[in-house]
Structure 1
Amino acid sequence: MGEKVLIKGNEAIGEAAIRANCKAFFGYPITPQTEVAAYMSRKMPKIGRVFIQAESEIAAINMVYGAAGSGVRAMTSSSSPGISLKAEGISYIAGAELPCVIVNIVRGGPGLGSIQPAQSDYFQATKGGAHGDFNMPVFAPASIQEMVDLIQDAFDVADTYRTPCMVMGDGMIGQMMEPVEFKERPAKTLPEKTWAANGLNGRKEHNVINSLFLESEKLEKHNEKLQAKYKCIKENEVRYEMFNCDGDNDLIMVAYGTTSRICKNVIKMAAKEGIKVGLIRPITLWPFPFEAFEKTINNTKCGYLSVEMSCGQMVEDVKLASNGRKPVDFYGRSGGMIPEPADILEKVKSIVGGAK
């Protein structure tokens, strides 16, 4: 084990990106992720890298487009309303097949909402988030250590598939402090960026970075190419944790991020009352871990309980995964309210029929 440092989540994001060789960061302040940009503003210029506080979130995502098009690792971060402003640029980046990392430290909504933690951007992140037929990998860390590790993974996945990747944590992940180890990781073999607009480099013609196809036939072929890529991502990049799911369960909860940590405490509380509860924790929200449900569908008496800091967005994917074979219930808090373990336990008991 290496040395651990006590660090705030948002600052850990910045440090992880630097260690992942992020060359350019473009951002704009918004609570509760402002410390990411503040950290990068202090660190990036000192090591000869680019930091720009853009005039808006729209400007920031288009700067990411330009930097990513040159072949360097580029990143932006924001929080819910800011991600909405970036949506057009994210679609352009996906259409142009450019790798980059986008961090969303989610706050309560809709609208300006609150600055408290939430998970109400699930639909936005996993169902496209902008116009057109595209998806992007979405990673959902449950701790600051996992956030650090997934930042590196997100850059690698982005480069492997030429796609934007999102790392999505709630406001609690961004604002709390935990001990973190910044691990030295072996360099991953990644595709050469022969597509980049960074000079001819021996080519006879210039590379053109673009997402505009005026001929419908060509755009359809491009969409077919993108869909083949997304199929490959679904086959190779699904990540999840199954906790206490061995053997028969009275119920299996499904939760991600901070909520999954709360659910692990609920599992211990339920065990004291003779109720066996498991947990499926999606680490990738897209692609969603449908295979975890295939592994557990015959091992849960009362089905699944989706626990979220939202009004029930992930529950739709849980129902798709169950596909009518087992009941799916929901417990959630919204607007920045954090679920209490005792309240979740009461929901569990109401489903399974009380203590055994």
Structure 2
Amino acid sequence: MGEKVLMKGNEAIGEAAIRANCKAFFGYPITPQTEVAAYMSRKMPKIGRVFLQAESEVAAINMVYGAAGTGVRCMTSSSSPGISLKSEGISYIAGAELPCVIINIVRGGPGLGSIQPAQSDYFQATKGGAHGDFKMPVFAPSSIQEMVDLIQDAFDVADTYRNPCMIMGDGMLGQMMEPVEFKERPKKELPEKTWAANSLGDRKEHNVINSLYLKPEDLEKHNFKLVDKYKEIEKNEVRYELYNCEGEKDLIIVAYGTTSRICKNVIKMAKEEGLNIGLIRPITLWPYPTEAFEKTIDHTKCGYISVEMSCGQMVEDVRLASNGRKPVYFYGRTGGMVPHPEDILNKIKEIVGGVK
């Protein structure tokens, strides 16, 4: 075990990215993630790396596009409305097949909404988030330690598949403090970046970084190539946790991020009242862990309940994964309100009592 240090979530993101060999950070301040940029502004210049506060979110993501094209590890961070502004650039990056990491510390919406925590960017992150046929892996940590670990994973996945990756946490994860350990990890074997626009790798030809295809047959061919890549990601990069899912269950909760931590307490409270409840915690929101439902579908009496800090976004993926075989219920708070354990438990008792 290494030494643990007490860090705010946003600052831990910055430190984890530095240790993952992020060479350039481009961002713009927005609550509740501004400390990511503030931390990088202090640390990156001291170690000979690039920190640049752009004039806007649009500028920041296009700077990421340029830096990623040279093959260096680069990152940006923002919160909800800022991610919306970056969406065009994210699509360009995906179309040009460039690796980068995007942090979204989600706040309440729509519009300016609030600076309180939310999970209402689920659709934006997992259903494209911008124009065109593209996807990006989305990691949803439930603790600051897991967020730190997933930063390294996100950079590795981005480099492996030449694709943008997102870490999506909520405002609570960004602002809270927890002990974290920065673990020494074995270096992963990654593909050589012979595609880059500089001299990385053994290049045989001039590289052009672009996402423009004027001939429709060429763009279709490119899109089918991307689809094949996304299928590989779906095959290799699904991550989830099954918590208390052994044997028969009265009901299984599906929750991610901070909400899943609350739900683990709900499961303990339910046990005291004679209810046997499990939890599926998606760690990748895309690719979605449908196999977790295959493993549990025959062991839940009353089906599943999606618990979210939104008006009901992930519940659609829960319904798709269960595919009509079991009922799917929903409980959510929104606008920056955090679900209370007692309220979740009351909803569970209402479902289980109603079915029984």
Q: TM bucket by the smaller chain?
A: over 0.9
Conserved 8 A contact 1:126-1:135:
yes
> Which residue is 1:238 aligned to?
238
Name the counterpart of 2:128.
128
**SS of residue matched to 1:42:** helix
Give secondary structure in 1 for the equivalent of 2:298.
coil
Equivalent residues in 2 for 1:1-356, closer than 5 Å: 1-199=1-199, 203-353=203-353
- Indicate how the Cα distance of structure 1 residues 323 and 354 shifts in structure 2: closer, same or farther if over 3 A, else same: closer
Using the alignment, how far apart are the partners of 1:77 and 1:245 within structure 2? 35
Unaligned segments of structure 1, at least 5 residues: none
Alpha-carbon distance between aligned partners in 1 of 2:253 and 2:275, rounded to the nearest angstrom: 13
Equivalent position SS for 1:114: coil
Name the % identity.
85
In structure 1, what residue type is equivalent to 2:207? N
Structure 1 CA distance for aligned equivalents of residues 202 and 287 of structure 2: 37
Q: Aligned AA for 2:333?
A: R
Q: Deviations over 1:207-252 (max 9, x none)?
A: 0000000000000000000000000000000000000000000000
- Report the residue type matching 1:2 in the other structure: G
Report if aligned partners of 2:253, 2:280 keep a CA contact under 8 Å in 1: yes
Distance of 2:37 and 2:354 partners within structure 1: 48
Q: Give the deviation of 1:199 after TM superposition.
A: 3.5
Secondary structure of the 2:115 match is: coil
Corresponding letter in the other structure for 2:312: G
- Could you tell me whether the CA contact under 8 Å between 1:94 and 1:164 is conserved in 2? yes
Q: Secondary structure at the match of 1:133?
A: coil
Aligned length: 356
Output the amino acid matched with 2:234.
K
User: More deviation in 346-355 or 29-38?
Assistant: 346-355
CA distance in 2, matches of 1:99, 1:135: 13
- TM-score, normalised to structure 2's length? 0.99
Kept in 1, the 8 Å contact 2:142–2:256? The answer is: yes
Deviation, 1:355, is 12
- Deviation of the 1:206 alpha carbon: 1.4
The answer to whether the 8 Å contact 1:310/1:334 transfers is yes
Per-residue deviation at 1:205?
2.8
SS of 1:353's partner is: helix
**Contact 1:60/1:76 (<8 A) preserved:** yes
Runs of 4+ aligned residues of structure 1 deviating over 3 Å after TM superposition are 199-204
Structure 2 counterpart of 1:182, which letter?
F
Please report how far the alpha carbon of residue 327 of structure 1 lies from its aligned counterpart in structure 2 after TM superposition: 0.2
Question: In structure 1, what is the Cα distance between the partners aligned to 2:6 and 2:61?
Answer: 30
Two-structure CA RMSD over aligned residues (Å)? 1.2
Which residue type is aligned with residue 216 of structure 1?
Answer: P
Report the CA distance between 1:134 and its aligned residue: 0.4
Deviations 1:297-345 (A, max 9, x none): 0000000000000000000000000100000000000000000000000
Question: Within 2, Cα distance between the matches of 1:202 and 1:147?
Answer: 34
The alignment partner of 1:166 has SS state of strand
Contact 1:200 1:206 in 2 (8 A): no
Preserved contact between residue 193 and residue 200 of structure 2 (Cα < 8 Å): no
Match of 2:116, SS state, is coil
Tell me, in whole angstroms, the C-alpha distance in 1 between the residues paired with 2:206 and 2:250: 61
Q: CA deviation at 1:204?
A: 4.7
Q: Which amino acid aligns with 1:241?
A: E
- For the residues of structure 1 that align with 2:280 and 2:206, how far apart are their CA atoms? 47
Instruction: Provide structure 2 residue ranges, at least 5 long, that are not aligned to the other structure.
Output: none
Q: Secondary structure at the match of 1:302?
A: coil
Find the aligned partners of 1:134 and 1:268 in 2 and give their Cα distance: 40
